């Protein structure tokens, strides 16, 4: 509509005074403001005006881009038209255009274009990927990479709707992972539509490359996120801890044992990608072993297979090494063995030629010994009957501060008493002589 006024509020700003009638005025908007002002002096006859409405000229109908969608069917001044693209295409230009005022109606921006890009990153849970130029032929010498990035724990279900490339020259590759060297799911060329694919990782690479010769319509594919299953639960894990509780595809967990236990198996397990989730190695376990060498300032040694009873007929050796210049202090917090026949022997050094520090057997806790050497040999023997338990702790100690506690043990046995590693196997016939250093 057109209003005939003296002053346009927005688009037309004119002022008139005196006795000459203004010429015909045409408004280019559907709103007009008339403002009259007089001072305190001379008065006059004033003015008389008439107005009528007339149809305004509209902007021309904007062109809808190929593979695009237009929203808005009013093309008057200040009206806005919005554009979006069909799935798989990217809008190039302005998504909104506005009809400008003026004697010649025009849009403030040209209509945009919808193009199929050569590569990109897609993070939506579903989407469409098109070869450049689709549904027309793709150009030559393409090297396009699309990366589908989904939340951890999701894979991509890929389905092809169209596929046509120069056979054995132009290829499409799909890989499970973020790199061009990631595991290949499929490589396709020619005119046969590929089968549906499952990427079992949250990152999927799609790579398309063409040579300089014959071009074809290319491809159109869709993807849809689907939730991946987790690997088998690892709990409980006796005698140790599991670091990281995420059991989804591609995640790794680390196992560590409590002091005194040794990890049997792989310390790190990774949940493999695939429709059937499984760990890349068997579950490890933490065991109290029958002997090992340990180098530490302090630690714990458990009887074999603790917390269950140790087996029969065991002969186990441990060598403890603490820092140089220190001795080893050993104390038992649990000692419950078959008396005499099952025992723990300790030497002040790494072998049986070293001075003997003691033999421990029976059901007595809080037994202890000191060494003058930073290495201590411990041997455990059990016979063919009756199990039991023991726990001993050790730590390095300054040899000078414990000189008064060092003792030399000399064992003598009756002729009829068997001897094992220098110790009598029958305590009633075994005599202990202590030598206290001066």
pLDDT digits (tens, 9 = 90+) for 336-376: 999 999 999 999 999 999 999 999 999 876 789 999 999 99
In words, the CATH class of domain 68-115 is mainly beta
Q: From 3.90.1150.10, 3.90.1170.50, 2.60.120.290, 2.60.40.10, which CATH number describes the 120-227 domain?
A: 2.60.120.290
Paired tokens of 105: 């109606």
Q: 68-115 and 293-435 share one CATH topology?
A: no
Note whether 310 and 303 are within 8 A (CB). Answer: yes
Ramachandran region of residue 401, left (φ > 0), alpha (ψ -120 to 50) or beta?
alpha
User: What's the per-residue H, E or C state across 176-190?
Assistant: ECCCCCCEEEEEECC
The answer to whether the bond into 307 is cis (omega within 30° of 0) is yes
At residue 7, does pLDDT exceed 50?
A: no
Q: Which CATH architecture has domain 293-435?
A: Sandwich (2.60)
Extended beta strands in 22-116, E state: 68-71, 80-85, 90-92, 96-100, 106-107, 113-115
Tens-place pLDDT, residues 149-196: 999 888 999 999 999 999 999 999 999 988 888 989 999 999 999 999
Q: From 3.40.50.850, 2.130.10.10, 2.10.70.10, 3.30.420.40, which CATH number describes the 240-287 domain?
A: 2.10.70.10
The reported pTM is 0.52
Tens-place pLDDT, residues 386-411: 899 999 999 999 876 544 444 434 33
If you compute the radius of gyration of the chain from its CA atoms, what whole number of angstroms results?
A: 45
DSSP bridge partners of 145: 207
Paired tokens of 298: 């302090």
- How do the domains of the chain map onto residue ranges? 68-115, 120-227, 240-287, 293-435
Note whether 183 and 175 are within 8 A (CB). Answer: yes
User: 262 to each of 140, 161, 214, 297, how far by Cα in Å?
Assistant: 61, 55, 64, 17
- Look at residue 16 in the predicted model and tell me its pLDDT: 78
């Amino acid at each position: 509509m057109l209003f005939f006024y003296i002053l346009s509020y927005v688009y037309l700003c004119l002022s008139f005074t005196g006795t000459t009638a203004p010429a015909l005025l045409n408004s280019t908007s559907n709103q007009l403001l008339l403002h009259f002002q007089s001072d305190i002096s001379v008065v006059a006859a004033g003015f008389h005006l008439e107005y009528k409405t007339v149809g305004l000229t509209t902007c021309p109908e904007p062109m809808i881009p190929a593979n695009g969608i237009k929203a808005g069917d009013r093309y008057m001044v200040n009206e806005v038209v919005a554009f979006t693209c069909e799935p798989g295409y990217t809008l190039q230009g302005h998504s909104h255009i506005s009809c400008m005022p003026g004697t010649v109606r025009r849009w403030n921006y040209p209509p945009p274009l919808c193009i199929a890009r050569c590569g990109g990153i897609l993070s939506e849970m579903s989407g469409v990927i098109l070869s450049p130029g689709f549904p027309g032929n793709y150009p030559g010498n393409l090297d396009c990479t699309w990366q589908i990035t989904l939340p951890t724990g999701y894979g991509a279900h890929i389905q092809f709707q169209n596929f046509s490339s120069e056979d054995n020259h132009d290829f499409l590759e799909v890989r499970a992972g973020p790199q061009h060297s990631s595991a290949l799911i499929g490589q396709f060329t020619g005119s046969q539509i590929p089968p549906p694919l499952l990427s079992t990782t949250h990152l999927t690479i799609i790579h398309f490359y063409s040579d300089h010769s014959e071009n074809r319509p290319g491809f159109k594919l869709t993807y849809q996120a689907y939730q991946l299953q987790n690997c088998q639960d690892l709990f409980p894990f006796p005698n140790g801890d599991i670091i990281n509780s995420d059991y989804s595809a591609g995640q790794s967990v680390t196992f560590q044992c409590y002091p005194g236990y040794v990890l049997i198996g792989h310390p790190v397990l990774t949940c493999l990608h695939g429709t059937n989730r499984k760990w890349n190695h068997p579950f490890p376990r933490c065991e109290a072993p029958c002997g090992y060498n340990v180098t530490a300032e302090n630690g714990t040694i458990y009887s074999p297979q603790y917390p269950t009873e140790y087996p029969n007929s065991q002969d186990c050796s441990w060598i403890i090494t603490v820092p140089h210049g220190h001795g080893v202090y050993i104390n038992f917090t649990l000692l419950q063995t078959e008396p005499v026949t099952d025992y723990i022997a300790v030497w002040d050094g790494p072998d049986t030629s070293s001075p003997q520090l003691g033999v421990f057997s029976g059901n007595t806790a809080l037994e202890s010994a000191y060494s003058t050497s930073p290495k201590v040999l411990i041997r455990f023997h059990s016979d063919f009957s009756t199990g039991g338990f023991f726990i001993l702790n050790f730590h390095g100690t300054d040899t000078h501060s414990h000189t008064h506690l060092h003792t030399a043990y000399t064992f003598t046995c009756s002729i009829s008493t068997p001897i094992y590693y220098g110790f009598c196997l029958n305590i009633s016939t075994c005599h202990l002589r202590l030598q206290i250093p001066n």
